[in-house]
Amino acid sequence: MNDTLILNALILLICLIFLGYSSEKTITNSQKLADITGFGKTTIGFLLISLSTSLPELSVSIFSIGHPEQIGISVGNVMGSQIANICFIFGLCVLYANYKHKKCIEFLTILTGTELKNLQFGLFIASIIPLVLIYVGEVSRIVGIILIIIFVWNTYSLMKNKINIKEEGSEKADGRSLLLIFLKVVLGVFGVIASSYFIMESATSIAISIGVPKIVIGATIVALGTSLPELATSLQATKSGDMNIVLGNIIGSGFINLTLILGVTLALNDFLVNVRIYSEVAIFALISNMFLWYFLSGDKLCEREGWMLVMLYIIYLVITFSGIM
């Protein structure tokens, strides 16, 4: 037992180091990709990084295909991840940015008008979808296909309306160099996801070996495990001073979860799914989106806003746990 505990602790330590290294490489190469392509860091965060870091949620969705008892986990994971991303992860990033730079985050210096509109549209869709689904009640494959179409249409629009004016000093690269940097970003994200998975597995094994109840493990380690990729990449981007990547990643993850991933979940299953049981989660998701929308409508984010988001997440956890205990 002691040998197993030591081995899991060693795996946990190694994976934490690898997680930091992978997230750093992901953000560094994403910055280069944004410069070369002219898409801008916010769009790269919204499209590439958020799509890649949403792979854990997508895997949960795929594994639920054909299993009515597991599809509920997938739907709950999709909605719950949105709350965790905005309140917990983005809240921590705001607090870290204010602590590191000793000043508030000013949006006017990091976002263009087009980028802000794209983020607000993503927030709007991520807010309206849960409410519409709850109003409908039982959703089917057709709803899933509609959600996938929304994702494809928005992605096409972002690709079409890319930022044509590149930043000063932006790099020029041929197709081969561009492909190489793109592959480095993808490999970095896969490194983040792989290390996150083994961190979750080793931490779970350690918790079990020291007698932590499984319900606590599921609600803490496993729940946080699927959000570790977003947390790692967002904190690394915050450390590098790229809050536009953070915003793109956080809002993009919520948009992708509620369009592509939820769409795949519904489209590949041939039975009706009752989403009214997620009313409480949907309401909290809407509240968190409204907070972020309000913050984006201002000029800057300070420590107060960061604490508001983190406290909202704590309130969500307290209410959720009090309902199941």
Mean pLDDT of all residues in 84-107: 83
Query: What is the arithmetic mean of pLDDT over 75-80?
Result: 75
Span 101-120, mean pLDDT? 70
* Percent helix, strand and coil across the chain, each to the nearest 5: 80, 0, 15
Convert the pLDDT of each residue in 145-163 to its tens digit.
Answer: 898 998 888 888 777 765 4
Which CATH fold would you assign to the domain 53-163+214-324? A middle domain of Talin 1 (1.20.1420)
Q: Are 27 and 245 in contact (CB under 8 A)?
A: yes
SS (H, E, C) 176-229: HHHHHHHHHHHHHHHHHHHHHHHHHHHHHHHHHHCCCCHHHHHHHHHHHHCCHH
Question: pLDDT by residue (tens digit) across 291-300?
Answer: 888 887 777 7
The C-alpha torsion from 65 through 71 and 75 to 81, rounded to 10°, is -80
Reported pTM: 0.76
Q: Biggest alpha carbon distance in the chain? A: 60
**What's the mean pLDDT in 54-80?**
68
Residues 191-204 pLDDT 10s: 877 877 777 677 77
When pLDDT is cut at 50, 70 and 90, the band that residue 307 belongs to is very high
The pLDDT value recorded for residue 69 is 58
pLDDT > 90? residue 80 = no
Spatial separation of the C-alpha atoms in residues 22 and 24, rounded to whole Å: 5
